[in-house]
Structure 1
Amino acid sequence: MSKLRNDSLVSGKKSVNNSSKHGLGCIPVRYLIVLLSVIANGLSYTMRTNLNLTIVAMVKRNDGTHDYDTCPVGDGSGSQTNSKEEIEGDFEWSESIQGVVLGAYYYGYIVTNCFGGQLADWMGARLLVGASLLSSGILTLIIPVCANWSVYSVIVVRIATGLAQGVLTPSLYTMLAYWIPLQERGLTLALIQVGGNIGAVITSPLSAALSQQEVFADGWPAVFYVLGILGCVCFFPWFYVIHNTPQEHPRISDDELMYIQAHVTASSRRKRGRSYVPWGSILKSRQVWIILITKFCAAWGNLFLMSKLPAYLESVLHLSMDLNGVVNACIYIALSVSLMFFGYISDLIERRRLMNRTVSRKLFETLGLSGAAVLMAVIPAVGCNQGAVITLLIFGMIVLGLMAGGDSPIVVDVAPDYSGSLYGLTNSFASFPGFLAPLVVGLVLDGNTSSNPMSQWNILFYLAAGIYLVGAISFCLFISAKPQSWGRARHGTIRATIDETTLNGSVYIKSRHNTVVEADNDDDNYSNNSSNDNNNENSNQSTGDNVVQNI
């Protein structure tokens, strides 16, 4: 049974800051929360992407593949290996059927991803994420049986997997809004995304190795058995360690609980329940539409590379399958490391209050998208220079990692109480390029068969660069990190009296429930005092009078 901690007292700022030395054992509980969240997101990506390479071992090969002699072959790079002597599959699935199988996941994913945050508010992220891991693990386990039965059963299973996993990431966002102090949020959200990227990185080589072995499950079925079992096993530590809020956790230390309560936003301290999500206000908000546009533009480049880069490297640059896999892994690794690094830098700027939060978000996002656009646009200029192309792709992902300080935390900034619901909406919108980008690539490549294929690929790189720029310009001109009026739940107020006026510069209040929290200093105040938009955030006005704080 969850145990509420409502009797915390503040004896001074020093005891709060020492919370990092206590927790579950020697590790703060919130760090374990983040670790398991990263693992859960990584496992979801392994089960999402396991078909991308494994399907090659499942289906019979078509000898009528295209042969683009756009770049010299056998130029000393060792790029030509005879990959066609590898595994021959059992299923006669056409290219169009394979496309439906690979895309089926997103049909279900988009549906539940949009409402995952609201479901987490109602049911709790602990239950939703745990159910997502367990159910998607079971669905992954039965794919080999379904494949031998009917391709349509595989499509149904993949749609169901998308439905199960669509709630996972917005649920994590909702839960972390309660657990993670504002100063640690940028790095935490970057780590969640990095976990997904790492899952995608390890899936391709793991799938290749398991598909080629004959010891366990006779090849490719082992991919689904291993990853499905991992998803099911992860369910148990998740349910043991995770609780929806710090107040409910039975093993959190008092110091860490006070630290979290003092440094999360006031909205994150509200009691979880069947909250109303103001979808009308959300859909009418200009800030939301700017976030939607930006995330769509950023996702276009990512999903374009994820889905078609292997084909470009093989058919145009003639890289071997092994080297192709290494390049794709390096790109994901570069993005993951970059997200962690720039997430840390973003948090550092936030902690030291080096610049206005809106300015910081704009700077990170604009540099990330515009820099990636420039590098993407240069790829056609280097032509068949394999080293230059690979270098540009990797550096493009490094620069794109600046988004960790831009559109990643902006969702929590503008809607602290509805970050999970808003993340679900924006992530669902950003998933549409998963269908659209491969479609556009196919139309461009198939549309002008008489043209030089290299010039057609150049069009695609320029298009991706232009879309990146649209996102950068929109975000730079119109976004604001100020919490929106609809972004905070208004379920009532708690009257609180000042228990101690200042503790090393921070104001703390003690509610009638004896929960000590920090009076809400909106972070835009320190760098944007001239703004008139903060009149709901100035909680610490008097030293002895009652304070009414919205929660």
Structure 2
Amino acid sequence: MVEVVGVLGAKKPESSVGMRHVITLLLFLATTVSYATRVSMSVAIVAMVSENQYGYPVFDWDRGVQDMILSSFFWGYIVLQVPAGMLAGKFGGKYLILATMVTNGIINMVVPFAAMHGGWTAVCACRIVMGLTQGLLYPSLHSFLGHWAPTSERSRMGTFVYAGGQLGTIVEMMTSSLLSASRWGWPSIFYVAGVTCFVWSGLWLVLGASTPGTSKWISKEERKYIETNSCSDEIGAHKNMTIPWKNIWTSMPFWAILLAHCGQSLGFWTLLTEMPSYMAYVLNVNIKNNGLLSALPYVAMYILSFVFGWLSDFLVNRNIIRAVTARRIFNTIALWGPAAALLILSYLPPGHLTLAVVILTVTVGLNGAHYVGFMMSHIDLSPNFASVMMGITNGVAGIFSIMAPLSVSIVVKDQTLASEWRKVFFISIAFYFFCNLFYITFVSGDLQPWNEPKHNTDEESGAKNETEKEENVSKF
């Protein structure tokens, strides 16, 4: 049997399942649940404005109001990204994620009441607060991956964690359509999501840990293996760190990640928030089947993301290609692949339901490659400041997420015409193309010199002042 040795000589633990896998599983479930609560409104809102046979309230919300509700999540989402990255870098992400999930659970339980008694403005308020707390999630996840993921396992672990978002989308689109058509009606969509958040929070409180060094359950062997192969410092070492803001903002590889994130965000969220409406108004698919068909592309994305993650690690660990080459290849698949598929979809004649679903499935499925593209580049550049960089890029990308549903309201005048939706697809195609072009040109896979934090503690300052005083006295 071949013995796997880390970068600094630490042997990989013999046990096939370690605490890093437990943490990865819990983070995977966190993204699954959080995405389910995030996208639930995409299907629920169709049911909330449609007649039902069980007497649940029906709201007279026009398309503009519906898009306002769908986009309101991102109004709050972009606010705490950078602060979350800084907090996760200094203190770890355990309690940030716990706060996210508990708050989301409470809000989901409140949404039906808010809709019935406060109208669309109250629903928007709930979605804004939900977005505000979920803004803590992604920077915290990157902090965890920076500390828990050995370099040789980074692509697979990162893919597994973030692929939970696709599973959450799949489950929510399928169950939401079934729940809304059942005797429990559309309110049950939010109640189920809320209870799930509370269950996850209980598990996380017991098993979660920000770093291997703070875990009560990890073995010494596994802790040594992770810490010598992740290129990150313990959380305690970051309490007095100086974030290298100038180095980050003047780094072309960082700007490459930022633009790639923005292009991905606009294209992905345009499809995610508007696909149920496209299915309903252009392809004439009823609400019960809507969620099932809308989920198919995310099933493809979920499955393919694991294929891409395994393939990336295989190619890099076997020294077939460099890590940065893998990032460029898979990011190109993730952005230019969907751009080509959307271009075909734009000129597909009306009435081709099966072919349209196939193309949409390919479009979203190929997008799964971005998990081992720009999403891992933050950690490649700096594991210690990956959470801060993710906070910046995810925050800016969130602005483009807001633009996604709102742009549909501006561009699409008649929702039943495929030619109107073609304009929306063209916008996504342009962003996909140019943002990836910049990424593959300027991205880097090298660990940056500013990864190691510079400390400016009171003790150091005091010692410096004492030395200066002694020097001044000696002059006299």
1:104 aligns with 2:72: yes
Trace 1:144-543 onto structure 2 (pairs within 5 A).
Answer: 144-151=112-119, 152-214=121-183, 218-267=184-233, 271-384=237-350, 385-446=352-413, 453-491=417-455
| CA distance in 2 between partners of 1:169 and 1:294 (Å) | 16
Sequence identity percentage: 27
State the partner residue of 2:22.
32
CA change 1:157–1:371 in 2 (3 A) is closer
User: Residue in 2 aligned with 1:119?
Assistant: 87
Q: How big is the shift at 1:109?
A: 1.0
Task: Work out whether residues 57 and 88 of structure 1, in 8 Å CA contact, stay in contact via their aligned partners in 2.
Answer: no
In structure 1, distance between residues paired with 2:285 and 2:208: 44
One-letter code aligned to 2:389: L
Q: Is the 8 A contact 2:174 2:291 kept in 1?
A: yes
Amino acid at match of 1:56: V
Distance in 2 (alpha carbons) for counterparts of 1:302 and 1:126: 28
Q: Deviations over 1:382-437 (max 9, x none)?
A: 32322222222222233222223211211111122110111111112222232212
Does the Cα contact within 8 Å between 1:261 and 1:269 map onto a contact in 2? no
In the alignment, the residues of structure 2 paired with residue 148 and residue 382 of structure 1 have an alpha-carbon distance, to the nearest angstrom, of 40
Task: Kindly name which structure, 1 or 2, has the bigger radius of gyration based on alpha carbons.
Answer: 1
Q: Provide the rounded CA distance (Å) in 2 between the counterparts of 1:227 and 1:205.
A: 13
Aligned to 1:543: none
Q: CA deviation at 1:60?
A: 5.9
Deviations 1:32-55 (A, max 9, x none): 000000101111112212222223
Cα offsets for 1:43-99 (capped at 9, x unmatched):
1112212222223333466xxxxxxxxxxxxxxxxxxxxxx7787634444443333
Cα offsets for 1:104-137 (capped at 9, x unmatched): 2211111012322211123321111112111221
Kindly provide the amino acid, as one letter, of the partner of residue 403 in structure 1. H
Superposed displacement of residue 144, structure 1: 2.4
Aligned partners of 1:346 and 1:404 also within 8 Å: no
Determine the C-alpha separation between the residues in 1 that align with 2:365 and 2:416: 30
1: CA distance, partners of 2:40 / 2:365: 25
> TM-score, normalization: structure 2?
0.87
Q: CA RMSD in A?
A: 2.7
Contact 1:282 1:288 in 2 (8 A): yes
CA deviations on 1:466-490 (whole Å, 9 max, x unpaired) are 2211122111212112233333323
CA positional deviation for 1:240: 1.0
Relative to structure 1, the CA distance from residue 18 to residue 99 in structure 2 (aligned partners, 3 Å threshold; closer, same or farther) is closer
CA contact (8 A) 1:340 1:404 kept: no
CA distance in 2, matches of 1:349, 1:87: 56
CA contact (8 A) 2:213 2:234 kept: no
The 8 Å contact of residues 167 and 299 in structure 2, kept in 1 or not, is answered as: yes
Q: 1:274 to 1:38 in 2, by over 3 A?
A: farther
Would the aligned equivalents of 2:92 and 2:211 in 1 still touch at CA under 8 Å? no
* CA–CA distance in structure 2, aligned partners of residues 206 and 12 of structure 1: 43
Q: Which amino acid aligns with 1:467?
A: F
Kept after mapping to 2: 8 A contact 1:331/1:397: yes
1:266 Cα offset (Å): 4.6
- Corresponding position: 1:44 with 2:61: no
Deviations 1:143-163 (A, max 9, x none): 223223312333222211111
Question: After alignment, is 176-185 or 43-52 more displaced?
Answer: 43-52
Greater relative contact order structure (CA < 8 Å, 6+ sep): 2
Q: 1:357 to 1:440 in 2, by over 3 A?
A: same
User: 1:267-326: CA deviations, max 9, x gaps?
Assistant: 568734253323343223222222111111122221121122223233223333344322
Q: Distance in 2 between matches of 1:382 and 1:98?
A: 27
Amino acid at match of 1:184: E
Question: What secondary structure does 2:57 align onto?
Answer: coil
What number of residue pairs does the alignment pair up?
Answer: 450
